[in-house]
Structure 1
Amino acid sequence: MRDMTRVPRGPLRSTLGGTVDLSELPGRSVLFVYPRTSPPDGPPAGWEMIPGARGCTLESCSFRDLAAEFTALDTAVLGLSTQAPHYQAEAAKRLHLPYPLLSDETLSLAAPLGLETFTFEGAPLYRRATLVLEAGTVVHRFDEIADPGGHPAEVLAWLTRADS
């Protein structure tokens, strides 16, 4: 779906160190928003019962596996969740992710970008979505993501069509 919402200004802590302000990113970026990556010992009890929650690690790894294709389309990839930066850094290292994961612990992007949330074990989490950004503006969004592992290929196909 076409959007054209401007991304609000504000720093988000990054697993690559420092902060990233999505409103200041040049060019095109894909921001995939996910609830949380599971710890090495697997998801917490009850996680599998939440519609749409399962598949965050698989989605992250699928974006990793297609990193060269996104780069070939001059498109940066970034992940976003509400998880703390230290947890994200462990996951990024363990999963060998070549792109940054950004932390939005305060849900600062939820209302301005219309990102849905839910609560699990008392913690607010984002529902899965993917935003295509052009110079700080949302130009396309994917909100209904049925197959997290296959979704990165779907995004890549959309970008390829958009470039033709």
Structure 2
Amino acid sequence: MVAVGQAAPDFTLQASNQQEISLRDYRGKSVVLYFYPKDMTPGCTTEACDFRDFHPDFAKLDTVVLGISPDDVKSHDKFTAKHELPFPLLADTDHKVAEAYGVWVLKKMYGREYMGIERTTFVIDPEGKIAKVWPKVKVKGHVQEVLAFIREELKP
């Protein structure tokens, strides 16, 4: 997993609403990059809606929120429309970005092993370096913790 102080791996991905997004386009701003397993699942929906509900607070701090999962753009478009998400969801269908960030991992559920996303959030500072990492995120209260970190540590 990339660590605090390292340069955030750059990427360009297709996003909801037919955009193509590159991380380098956000230099000069703080970026919350959150990786989540799957659209329309309970935990991922709660997390996305929490980021939605606090989106104005992130915007006031000149911070961009980007969500990434292995789902395709069509799935992201449905998820975005259903929950009125004001930030883009990026389609990492070949999980190359997840691998670059170290969040594509072996998971176990009900005795079955498979590769998937480990729910992880990164804060990237305006210079493009990793400022904070939350691995194995527990959704409840997480977005508020991310917001507090940006307010207290990055002080835009």
Q: Do both share a fold (TM > 0.5)?
A: yes
Shorter-normalised TM-score: what interval?
A: 0.7 to 0.9
Q: TM-score, normalised by structure 1?
A: 0.80
Amino acid aligned to 2:94: T
Counterpart for residue 99 of structure 1? 87
Amino acid aligned to 1:136: G
Where does structure 1 differ by over 6 angstroms across 4 or more consecutive aligned residues? 119-123
Q: TM-score, normalised by structure 2?
A: 0.83
Separation in structure 1 between the aligned mates of residue 30 and residue 51 of structure 2, nearest angstrom: 15
Structure 1 or 2: more helix by fraction:
2
Counterpart for residue 18 of structure 2? 17
Counterpart for residue 59 of structure 2? 71
Q: CA deviation at 1:107?
A: 1.1
The answer to whether the 8 Å contact 1:116/1:127 transfers is yes
**Alignment equivalent of 1:137, drawn from 129, 132, 138:** 129
Counterpart for residue 4 of structure 2? 3
Q: What count of residue pairs does the alignment treat as equivalent?
A: 149
Please state whether the residue corresponding to 2:64 is helix, strand or coil. strand
- Aligned pairs for 1:22-37 within 5 A: 22-26=23-27, 27-37=29-39
1:32-79 deviation digits (Å, cap 9, x = unpaired): 1100122xxxx5xxxxxxxxxx51100000000001110111101111
Counterpart for residue 59 of structure 1? 47
Amino acid aligned to 1:130: T
Counterpart for residue 157 of structure 1? 148
Separation in structure 1 between the aligned mates of residue 94 and residue 3 of structure 2, nearest angstrom: 26
Name the stretch that deviates more: 91-100 or 7-16: 7-16
Task: Label 1:118 to 1:103 Cα distance change in 2 as closer, same or farther (>3 A).
Answer: farther
What is the RMSD of the two structures over their aligned residues, measured on CA atoms? Answer: 2.4
Separation in structure 1 between the aligned mates of residue 51 and residue 146 of structure 2, nearest angstrom: 10
Separation in structure 1 between the aligned mates of residue 100 and residue 134 of structure 2, nearest angstrom: 16
